């Protein structure tokens, strides 16, 4: 049983895109939590990767998340056509370069791209932390089934706030104050 470790973690946001998000269950909460995760990851000096599934058809990453990316990391999405982000050579290269084995996973749709990515990451030696309040599908049922299935495949469950404070480790620092403001 391992905990999140800042030196070994990376945030991976899957397909939070313009034409997809309006039909996603609790999409506003998912977008808000992805934004918090990106801003929190920046405070904690974690790398972040973002994918876009067939952006020509599904559009770019939604504006609030794109804005958070621009302010914190720059906007450089990994375009993909396969459901699993692991199937994209660019993601492999990024993860190899980063040399980080813990993946905080957020995005949509839980039962398709998030699920297939999580299973592939676990199968390839990564420790996957599902940020449940930043993951969804068009229906709550599909989201819930996907979360259950990913857990049985070896992923771990967390929330946005849980993950950020676990990575933070201690109170009383400037980072703690910044994270505290972020989650309020």
pLDDT digits (tens, 9 = 90+) for 26-44: 999 999 999 999 999 999 9
Please give the helix or strand (H or E) that residue 9 lies within, else none.
strand 9-14
Confidence of residue 87 (pLDDT cuts 50, 70, 90): confident
- CA dihedral (6, 70, 66, 182) positive or negative: positive
Other beta carbons less than 10 A from residue 20's beta carbon: 22
- What is the reported pLDDT for 123? 96
pTM for the model stands at 0.96
Domains of the chain: 6-183 (3.40.50.850)
Q: Is 82 a catalytic residue?
A: no
pLDDT digits (tens, 9 = 90+) for 146-163: 999 999 999 999 999 999
| Tokens standing for residue 13 | 């946001």
Q: Is 101 a catalytic residue?
A: no
CA distances from 125 to 4, 51, 86, 87, 98 (A): 15, 20, 12, 15, 14
CA distances from 159 to 105, 106, 123, 134 (A): 11, 10, 23, 8
- What is the reported pLDDT for 68? 83
pLDDT digits (tens, 9 = 90+) for 109-142: 999 999 999 999 999 999 999 999 999 999 999 9
Other beta carbons less than 10 A from residue 120's beta carbon: 19
Active-site choice (35, 80, 120, 156):
80
Active-site choice (35, 113, 120, 156):
113
Active-site choice (15, 35, 120, 133):
15
Confidence of residue 7 (pLDDT cuts 50, 70, 90): very high
């Amino acid at each position: 049983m391992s905990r999140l470790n800042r030196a070994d973690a990376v945030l991976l946001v899957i397909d939070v895109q313009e034409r997809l998000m309006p039909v996603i269950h609790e999409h506003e909460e998912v977008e808000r939590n992805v934004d918090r995760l990106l801003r929190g990851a920046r405070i904690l000096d974690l790398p972040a990767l973002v994918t876009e599934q067939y952006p020509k058809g599904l559009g770019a990453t939604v504006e609030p998340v794109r804005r958070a990316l621009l302010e914190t990391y720059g906007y450089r999405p990994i375009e993909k056509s396969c459901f699993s982000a692991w199937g994209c050579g660019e993601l492999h290269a990024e993860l190899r370069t980063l040399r980080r084995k813990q993946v905080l996973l957020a995005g949509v749709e839980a039962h398709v791209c998030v699920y297939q990515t999580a299973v592939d990451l676990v199968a390839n030696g990564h420790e996957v932390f599902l940020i449940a309040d930043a993951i969804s599908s068009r229906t709550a049922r599909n989201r819930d089934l996907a979360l259950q299935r990913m857990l049985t495949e070896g992923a771990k469950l967390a929330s946005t706030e849980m993950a950020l404070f676990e990575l933070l480790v201690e109170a009383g620092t400037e980072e703690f104050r910044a994270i505290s403001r972020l989650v309020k």
